[in-house]
Structure 1
Amino acid sequence: MPRLFTGLEIPSQTGLMLSLLRGGLRGARWIDPENYHITLRFIGDIDDRMADEIADALSRVRRDPVEIRLTGLGAFANGKPHAIFARVEPTPELMEMQAEQERLMQRLRLSPERRKYIPHVTLARCRSATNQDVARWLAEHGDFQGLTFTVKRFVLLSSRASVGGGPYLVEETYPLGRETGGVAPDDWLGAPADHW
């Protein structure tokens, strides 16, 4: 059974810039830059028939390209830190796209996502890093300047059942805005509008 989720890809130049943040945090497992993404809707382990229904439902999404802004760094913690991430500005366009996909999944009788959607790019999983370690790392990288880029498609991804972090496989692609054929992958994503 495939483990599926929808997401937005990160342009290679932006991924390279984010990868420069790697290191300096004890007990962190850094995500490989080719696996950076923004999750829209985690779907989970499903059978092939449901995977086909999901792919078909997503093909009917009609939205314009979306501008993505990375606005800083943060950490997810529940008493103990478990991930370091780059914040993604929750623009109305991004949040509406995510909400539409949530509605589509519920129409297919999948369980609703219980967690509040917080758009982000996971940079590292914290295995044994302490709150103090993470606070120190965030303080040392407090000068992170946001990056902006435009995404012109979203994707249906699959992953191995593991602790997360990839590798991920693109199962289907869904263009945003007008169709463009025969375009290189980074052209779908758009170039970063500014640097850090």
Structure 2
Amino acid sequence: MIRAFVALPLPETLCQRVMLLEQMLPLPRHAARPAPPETLHLTLAFLGSQPAPVLEDLHHALEGLGAPSFDLRLRGVDRFGGDTPRSVHAGVVPCGALAHLQRKVAQAARGAGITLERRRFVPHVTLARLDWRRLSPPERERLSLAIAGNGHFSAGPARITALALYRSYPGKGGSHHEELARYDLGPPPP
């Protein structure tokens, strides 16, 4: 079984801006795992653990996806997890081409026999994983203020020209990702 996901690798210009943003956040080492630059991506579909033949079928479907390239913009900082946040992320400016691509990837995954989680697609780039319970009240306050204070963050536009199928290796210090295949997107619409 292979733990996998489909995502957009971030262009270098966006990676640089995201890393600067990450460095500005007060992320205590004992309770936060910042995302290393080589793992920055925008997930389109988390596939869970799949047998190799199923991923091979998905690979062939993704090769024929036929979606256009587009410009991606990041905006704002937020967190997931409600009162006990589990991650901090950069938001994504709504984009019809991105939403269309995500729907096509989900359709390809389902066509390959993969059952996807039923949740609304909220495009984002994870900056750090959190263990909120390990933060002291002053650390929580500082981080909350930093997140609110970076609501003006923006980066891009950057042209997205490919998507990729990744293997994920969970580990003690966080997951490591291996790109299994890359799929070029077509020219943008006129």
What TM-score comes out, normalization by structure 1 length?
0.83
**Aligned with residue 47 of structure 1, among 51, 73, 84:** 51
Question: How many residues align structurally?
Answer: 178
Partner of 1:7: 7
**Aligned with residue 154 of structure 2, among 124, 131, 145:** 145
Decide whether the 8 Å contact of 2:110 with 2:116 is kept in 1.
Answer: yes
Q: Distance in 2 between matches of 1:42 and 1:140?
A: 30
- The 5 A counterparts of 1:124-143 are 124-128=128-132, 129=135, 132-143=141-152
Change (3 A) 1:63 1:165: farther
Q: Distance in 1 between matches of 2:27 and 2:118?
A: 30
**Any stretches of 5+ residues in structure 1 without a counterpart?**
179-196
Q: In structure 1, the residue corresponding to 2:159 is in which secondary structure?
A: strand
**Greater fraction of residues in helix:** 2
Change (3 A) 1:164 1:51: farther
Change (3 A) 1:163 1:125: farther
Structure 1 stretches (4+) deviating beyond 6 angstroms? none
Decide whether the 8 Å contact of 1:76 with 1:83 is kept in 2.
Answer: yes
Partner of 1:156: 165
Q: CA deviation at 1:47?
A: 1.1
What TM-score comes out, normalization by structure 2 length?
0.85
Q: CA deviation at 1:141?
A: 2.5
Q: CA deviation at 1:36?
A: 0.4
Q: In structure 2, the residue corresponding to 1:147 is in which secondary structure?
A: strand
**Any stretches of 5+ residues in structure 2 without a counterpart?**
none
Partner of 1:183: none
Q: CA deviation at 1:6?
A: 0.6
**Aligned with residue 77 of structure 2, among 73, 79, 82:** 73
Decide whether the 8 Å contact of 2:75 with 2:152 is kept in 1.
Answer: no
Partner of 2:26: 24
